[in-house]
Amino acid sequence: MNDGCQGCGCGGAGASPPGGETRRGALFKLGAGLMAVGGAVASVPIFGALVAPGFRRYGNSWLDIGGVADYPAGETRLAKFSIPGASPNDGETATAAAWVRSMDGGKFQVFAVNCAHLGCPVKWFQQSRLFMCPCHGGVYYEDGSRASGPPPRGLFEYEWKVENGRLLIDAGRLPGLQETA
C-alpha cells in the first residue's frame, strides 16, 4: 500500500486509511493540473512582454531629412533624423543618420550608415569617393556597392521621395541582412 503511494510522487508515508491512496493520487493530479494551468496563464504576460518585440511588425515612416537644396548634386552628405515613435527613455539613441548621395537630375541614393558586415558606422571620403568602415575594414564605392573587405553585399539603401522640395526617406528600423533599411 505504502509502496504504491511512493510511486505517485506525493511522498506520503505512514499509515493511510483504506481508499487514501486513490484519493491522494487524484488530489495530487488535480494540484499538478491546477499549477500547470495557473503557471501557463501567468507565463503569458510575464514572458509575453519579453518576446513581444519578436512578434510585432515594425513599419517605417516617411521622414523629412531636409530640403533638396541641402544636398548639392555631386556630393554625399550626412543626414540626421529622429527615429519615429522613439520613447522618451531613448535619449541620444532616438536619433539616427544616413548618407545622402545627390546625383545630377534630382536623383538620390540614401544609404544606412551601418556597414553591411556587422553594422559599424561607415565614413564617407569625398576625395577617393569611398565609404570606409572602422571596425573590420569594409569599403564601398560611392554608389554603395561593395569595394573590398568582409561585407557580403553593398550598403543598405533607404527608399526616398521628394515632396514640395523636401527630401523624405522611409526609415525607422536598424538595417541588417534580414532587415531592409
Partner 1 sequence: MLRGLKAIIGWTEDRSGMIGVVTPIITHRVPRNAKWWYVFGSATLMFFCIQLVSGTLLATLYAPSAADAYQSLVYIDTQVPMGWMLRAIHGWSSNAMVLMVVVHMLQVFLHGAFKFPRELTWMVGVLLLFCTLALAFTGQIMRWDQDAYWGLGIGASIVDRVPVLGNQLRNIMLGGPYIGGATLSRFFALHVFVLPGLTIALVGLHLWLILRNGVSEMPKVGEPVVPATYRRDFEARTERTGVPFFPDAAQRDMVFCGLALIVVVGLAALYGPFGPNGNPDPTVIDANPRPDGAFLWIFAALALLPAQVETFLLLAAPPVIVLLLLAIPLISPRGERAPTRRPVSVLAMLLVCTALAALTWLGVTSPWSPVMDAWTSVPTPVRLVERLTPLQMQGALVMQYQQCRNCHAIDGTGGMRGPDLGDVGSRLSWDQLVRQVQQGGGNMPAYGKTLSAAETVAVVAFLQACRTDGQPPAFIPGALERAASGDLPPVAAPVAAPPAAP
Which residues are at the interface with partner 1 (CB under 8 A)?
50-51, 53-56, 58, 78, 80, 83, 86-97, 113-114, 117-123, 125, 127-130, 132-137, 139, 141, 147-150, 152, 172-174, 176-179
Nearer to partner 1, 164 or 178 (CB): 178
Estimate to the nearest angstrom the gap between the alpha carbon of 28 and the chain centroid: 44
Residue 157's alpha-carbon distances to 73, 115, 143, in angstroms, are 18, 11, 10
Beta bridge partner(s), residue 158: 110
Minimum CB distance to partner 1, residue 84 (Å): 10
Minimum CB distance to partner 1, residue 90 (Å): 4
Nearer to partner 1, 90 or 163 (CB): 90
- Asked if 147 and 130 count as a contact pair (C-beta separation under 8 A), the reply is yes
Whole-angstrom Cα distance, residue 138 to residue 151? 6
Nearer to partner 1, 40 or 55 (CB): 55
Nearer to partner 1, 29 or 123 (CB): 123
Question: Which residue, among 134, 76, 73, has the nearest Cα to 103 in the 3D structure?
Answer: 73
Amino acid identity of 147?
A
Q: Burial level of 81, CB count in 10 A (0-12/13-18/19+)? A: middle
Estimate to the nearest angstrom the gap between the alpha carbon of 141 and the chain centroid: 27
Nearer to partner 1, 89 or 164 (CB): 89
Minimum CB distance to partner 1, residue 63 (Å): 13
Minimum CB distance to partner 1, residue 132 (Å): 5
Whole-angstrom Cα distance, residue 177 to residue 181? 9
Minimum CB distance to partner 1, residue 25 (Å): 33
